[in-house]
């Protein structure tokens, strides 16, 4: 049922990508090959990601919760002192390369990647 509702939006998005966002200069001979190359590179990137660390220490000097832009920077800065033990904790599913494409963000809106959050009406 959800896939039937998403199909028109997917087609519209693909049309926009092919007609507006894919370069048309002489370096790009075929838009389809550009998309295939993008998908291959994204898949290769996901395949080469380091595995999650499962051997945890018994104690840490700092625990940073949230690996967003601020959390990663804070954790990285803390690790500049070699004696400090830092644990960076992030919840959620593994990253999908589609998450990096802003025009496709709507497809992840009500999935586990977005915690399936829905807003509530404020009645105001």
Rounded CA-CA distance 121/79 in Å is: 43
Helix (H, G, I), strand (E, B), or coil: what is residue 105? helix
Section 99-108 average pLDDT: 77
Helix (H, G, I), strand (E, B), or coil: what is residue 81? coil
Model's pTM, two decimal places? 0.52
Q: How far from chain centre, in Å, is Cα 1? A: 25
Section 93-110 average pLDDT: 75
pLDDT of residue 4: 55
Name the pLDDT band for 9 (thresholds 50, 70, 90). Answer: low
Name the pLDDT band for 43 (thresholds 50, 70, 90). Answer: confident
Residue 88 — φ and ψ, nearest 5°?
-105, 120
More confident residue, 11 or 24: 11
Name the pLDDT band for 78 (thresholds 50, 70, 90). Answer: very high
% residues pLDDT > 70 (the chain): 77
More confident residue, 68 or 45: 68
């Amino acid at each position: 049922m959800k896939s039937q509702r998403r199909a028109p939006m997917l087609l519209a998005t693909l049309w926009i990508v092919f007609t507006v966002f894919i370069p048309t200069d002489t370096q790009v001979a075929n838009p389809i090959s550009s998309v295939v190359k993008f998908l291959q590179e994204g898949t290769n990137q996901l395949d080469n990601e380091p595995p999650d660390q499962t051997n945890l220490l018994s104690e840490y000097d700092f625990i940073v919760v949230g690996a967003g832009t601020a959390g990663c920077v804070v954790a990285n800065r803390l690790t500049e002192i070699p004696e400090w033990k830092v644990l960076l904790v992030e919840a959620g599913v593994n990253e999908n390369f589609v998450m990096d494409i802003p025009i496709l963000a709507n497809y992840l809106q009500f999935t586990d990647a977005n915690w399936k959050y829905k807003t509530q009406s404020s009645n105001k």
